[in-house]
A and B are shown apart, each in its own frame.
Chain A
Amino acid sequence: MPQTTDQTAGQPVGQPGAFARHALTATGLSLGYDGTRIVDKLDLAIEPGAITVIVGANASGKSTLLRGLARLLPPQAGTVTLDGRDIASLPSRKVATIVGLLPQQPIAPEGIGVADLVGRGRYPHQGWFRHWSSTDDTIVAEAMAATQTLELASRRMEELSGGQRQRVWIAMALAQNPDILLLDEPTTFLDVTHQVEVLDLLHELNHEQGTTVVMVLHDLNLAARYADRLVVMRQGTIIAEGAPAQVLTEAVVLDAFGLTARIIADPVCGSPLVVPIGRFHGAA
């Protein structure tokens, strides 16, 4: 697939300015649990309309940062703002119509059907006077069609494979219809085919709907290929940020992961490809 994204403007191809872009920004953000500090005085502006991928070694604070951005974790210091307003001061349902998060291990109630689960993504759009309507049905059906889960509508979650289940969860996040979608390692537990499938789906979502995507990924090469912007974390701070080709250097990989590696161009699309060296190979 040719790289079609224009790095300068962050405007996805196809829908320039189709709807209001929302700005999610962390300023001096410190996060942690029970007195320990995991994310330390971090500044990050999520680029609207782009795919941002957060990478870093285990325990570098990636998931914690994502939870902080989704206001699942109150800041110990600093703020997260949505369109310039403190996210903690906004009504939580209102935020949920703009920012959605797919956790790493969401829980499906025993016996729940696929259609029922995806439909629960509509919760923030409903209220005292607005109940389930045919519009909700249409949006849910679209979300399921986009993730190829519509034919699973009558099945139960426990009957599905890992890849199918992950697509159902993404369908639920799409049904929520957020402008900014945060995903915590959406490809864990999936084999490589399904990983690529899920990432292609998110790419499509970003390019066709203009959804801002922020996700944590483990695989550096897939991260480099799918990201418009790469954020590299180490010990709760950002050590590099920007377009993958600029950010992913041998020095940064060594710094963030303690890994000596070669960086070559991905033969498929030219994005940086990290080739680890290790102790026994390529001693030259």
Chain B
Amino acid sequence: MTTSARAAVDAAPLVRARTLRHRRERRIVLVLAALVLVVAATSLMVGAYNLSVPDLLRTLVGQGSSSENFIVFKLRLPRLTLAILVGVAFAVSGALFQTVLRNPLASPDIIGVTGGASAAAVFGMLVLGLGSVATSFMAFAGAMVVAAAIYLLAWRGGVVGYRFVLIGVGVAFMVQGLLGYLLSRADLRNAEDALTWLVGSVSGARWPEIAVLAAFLAVLLPAIGVLAGRMRMLQLGDDTASSLGVRAERSRLALLVAAVALAALATAFVGPLAFIAFVSAPIARRLVGTGSLALFPAALIGVLITTVADFTAQHLLPGALELPAGIITGAIGAPYLLWLLATQNRIGKGA
């Protein structure tokens, strides 16, 4: 539009609207980051042997006693770091799925992607007798295969969100059935190992594994950042996105591949921690409330849920037994699912 045709227009209302929006998003991020910091510090300090704040700080800068070093660097920090990384991975994965398929139910844990990882991992453990590293590879491959199958089954000259979700839910039931079969014919001790894996837990984290996961995330997350602009256009629907110059189907596929890779990776490392992918982005978007992608706040929410769930499972539940974090995340996610189904249908967005 040429300025000559019209008197210059004052862009101030625009700038004001943008400043307000950015300020709001920044405030939410700061609050969430502060909460993460508090939870992280607490989970490093509290345990069978409690550390004070000065103890912790001293240890972190390398001035701790050998027992403090062991507790922080060998026991608590790896576990915390793993929880943070998988929290980010699950949350961002869910955010991508829900955005590009434009459906709040589209999340790797609902549509059978993490289920596929589980079935493959349990098959590896029980039938092939694989060790933990090979099991992780099986889980990753399982998630990829299931996601590809859903995509191909949902393809009708393009992929529509609700069809993808419905087929995904069907596939989730199938892999559940397969899991049940594998577990029922396994011997009791092996089945117990498999069951523990299936709940999902960040215990037993070791630095070499964490480094591998971090390296993958260091590749995937920037790639997603590059695609974020396209994703913002896809939020407006395929037709609008295409008319704005985005190749909708191709961009969706690229984003889904990244999302599946994130979910598959996280599942391979800690098992299918329930519902983190499903709830994180909707919570973040409700908090931010500006229609933005809210990937960063979603990642922080994912981290918060994972770390708080792990802390609760370790220290806050009665009984001597240490529970896997997946039980807590499941307890958070299930009521949200019910609430979502109840409210979304009322305002006609269920499909």
Query: How many inter-chain contacts with C-beta < 8 Å in the A-B complex?
Result: 147
Structural contact, A145 and B242, CB atoms closer than 8 A:
no
Total chain A interface residues with beta-carbon distance under 8 A: 62
Structural contact, B5 and A209, CB atoms closer than 8 A:
yes
Structural contact, B240 and A106, CB atoms closer than 8 A:
yes
- Given A111-B289, A112-B291, check contact A103 B243 (CB 8 Å): yes
Any chain A CB within 8 A of the CB of B40? no
Q: From residue 103 to 149 of chain A, which have CB atoms closer than 8 A to chain B?
A: 103, 105-117, 119-121, 123-124, 126, 134, 137-146
Structural contact, A123 and B14, CB atoms closer than 8 A:
no
Identify which of B13, B156, B242, B285 contacts A71 (C-beta below 8 A).
B242
Contacts of A191 in B (CB 8 A): none
Any chain B CB within 8 A of the CB of A15? yes
Identify which of A18, A113, A126 contacts B2 (C-beta below 8 A).
A18
Contacts of A189 in B (CB 8 A): none
Structural contact, A103 and B237, CB atoms closer than 8 A:
yes
What is the distance, in angstroms, from A186's C-beta to the closest C-beta of chain B? 14
Contacts of B8 in A (CB 8 A): 138
Contacts of B131 in A (CB 8 A): none
Closest to B226 in A: A128
Any chain B CB within 8 A of the CB of A196? no
What is the distance, in angstroms, from B3's C-beta to the closest C-beta of chain A? 7
Contacts of B244 in A (CB 8 A): 96, 100, 120-121, 123-124, 176
Structural contact, A96 and B290, CB atoms closer than 8 A:
no
Any chain A CB within 8 A of the CB of B321? no
Structural contact, A67 and B3, CB atoms closer than 8 A:
no
Any chain A CB within 8 A of the CB of B102? yes
Structural contact, B3 and A111, CB atoms closer than 8 A:
no
Q: From residue 1 to 34 of chain B, which have CB atoms closer than 8 A to chain A?
A: 1-3, 5-6, 8-11, 13-18, 20-21
Structural contact, B13 and A33, CB atoms closer than 8 A:
no
Any chain B CB within 8 A of the CB of A101? yes
- Given A138-B8, A139-B1, check contact A154 B17 (CB 8 Å): yes
Q: State the B residues within 8 Å of A (CB).
A: 1-3, 5-6, 8-11, 13-18, 20-21, 102, 156-157, 229, 232-233, 235-240, 242-247, 285, 288-292
Q: List 18 A-B contacts (CB under 8 A).
A: A34-B156, A67-B239, A92-B247, A103-B239, A108-B291, A111-B289, A113-B290, A116-B290, A116-B291, A141-B11, A142-B6, A143-B1, A144-B9, A150-B9, A153-B17, A174-B1, A208-B5, A209-B1
